[in-house]
Amino acid sequence: MSRQPPGAGQPVPPQGTACAPSRLWTTSHLSWPPPVLDRSPRGAMSDSNAAPRTTRFRAYWELTKPGIAGFVMLTAGVAFYVASGGRAELLPVIHTLVGVVVATAGALALNQYIERKVDARMHRTRTRPLPSGRLRPVEALAFGLLLVTAGVVHLGVTVGWLAAGLTLASAVAYNFIYTPLKPRSYAATFAGAFPGAMPALIGWAAATGTISLGGMVLFAIAFLWQLPHVLALAWLLREDYRRAGFLLTPPDPEGSIIGRQMVLYSAILVPFSLVPTPLGLTGNIYLVGALLLGAVVTWWSVQALRDMSNPKVRKVFLGSLAYQPLLLGLMLLDTVRV
């Protein structure tokens, strides 16, 4: 009697995504790449439901949310460069980026461990590694703890314990303040903006060893930028969030409250984004560019307030998503060298 190889006849797990904003894969992606079967004697004795090695690697990769982790690394790197007056040494920058991205990846993995049951109820997240069964919860927990520890220790040893402490505080705030608040309070949106803005302060602290006015300004810019961005996302995904029991926005069937908040925070962001120039951190090219970028996002928020249709709100979401890397690019281009 013939015997099928391990895993034969088993459904291929759905493939998730690992970027921000998240996208749902269509069913055409579910069969590529094909599963790699272990035909060795050892493989023949293994659990037939075990995910192939390549699929497991991909699942661990998805746990780290590389898109978000890379964006965090970019923010910290630009803050380091600005804080050093455009004369950053390469090795400390590399150590900072490595420590920040590793710790961030661990914090994101821990978040998926904590929210695994909620993720299973949401269309946007149910294909993630834990809800889809590609990884066990204990594997995600151990992986996340290992990465956070490694990233924090690396920062402490190579660039300073202030940056390391801020990184640890960010991971703790993200998983033990913001995450538990999501199903309990509308304040979760603001609580989540604090760890989201910490990379700017971490990069500054890594470069200078202090928390000074310049670092706080970069932190404030990153904090304010997140609010219209997250509010727009919450409106677009309101049905999915409601299904998960998240209270990221107040009861607002018409979207008028969220629309006014998007306009308010976009408008407040504009003057804050200009402050690096009078502080002597950036030049006039940055000043003009930041003003134009802020004006565009604010105008799109005003348009969304008038018509909270998904296309108008999506424009705010995508515009704010592009805003931050463009602003960081202007900072890199026009940092005042000292």
pLDDT surpasses 50 at 20: no
Q: Which domain holds residue 219?
A: 212-338
Q: Which pLDDT score, from 0 to 100, does residue 244 have?
A: 86
Residues in the chain: 338
> Quick one: pLDDT band at residue 17, thresholds 50, 70, 90?
very low
200-212 pLDDT, tens digit per residue, is 999 999 999 999 9
> Quick one: pLDDT band at residue 166, thresholds 50, 70, 90?
very high
pLDDT surpasses 90 at 132: yes
Asked whether the beta carbons of 73 and 97 are under 8 A apart, the reply is: yes
pLDDT surpasses 90 at 305: yes
Nearest to 51 by CA among 61, 63, 41, 38: 38
Nearest to 114 by CA among 194, 195, 176: 176
pLDDT surpasses 80 at 313: yes
Q: Which of 167, 189, 210 is the last residue of a domain?
A: 210
Kindly state whether residue 9 falls inside one of the protein's structural domains.
no
> Quick one: pLDDT band at residue 333, thresholds 50, 70, 90?
very high
Q: Which pLDDT score, from 0 to 100, does residue 253 have?
A: 83
- Predicted TM-score (pTM) of the model is 0.82
176-204 pLDDT, tens digit per residue, is 999 999 999 989 999 999 999 999 999 99
Q: Which of 210, 235, 257 is the last residue of a domain?
A: 210
Nearest to 297 by CA among 329, 322, 276: 322
Q: Tell whether 284 and 331 lie within a shared domain.
A: yes
Q: Tell whether 251 and 129 lie within a shared domain.
A: no
Q: Which of 179, 210, 241 is the last residue of a domain?
A: 210
Q: What is the average pLDDT value for the chain, to the nearest integer?
A: 87
Cα 66 to Cα 59, 63, 104, 182: the distances in Å are 12, 8, 10, 23
Q: What is the CATH number of the domain that holds 139?
A: 1.10.357.140
- Alpha-carbon gap, residue 154 to 235, rounded angstroms: 38
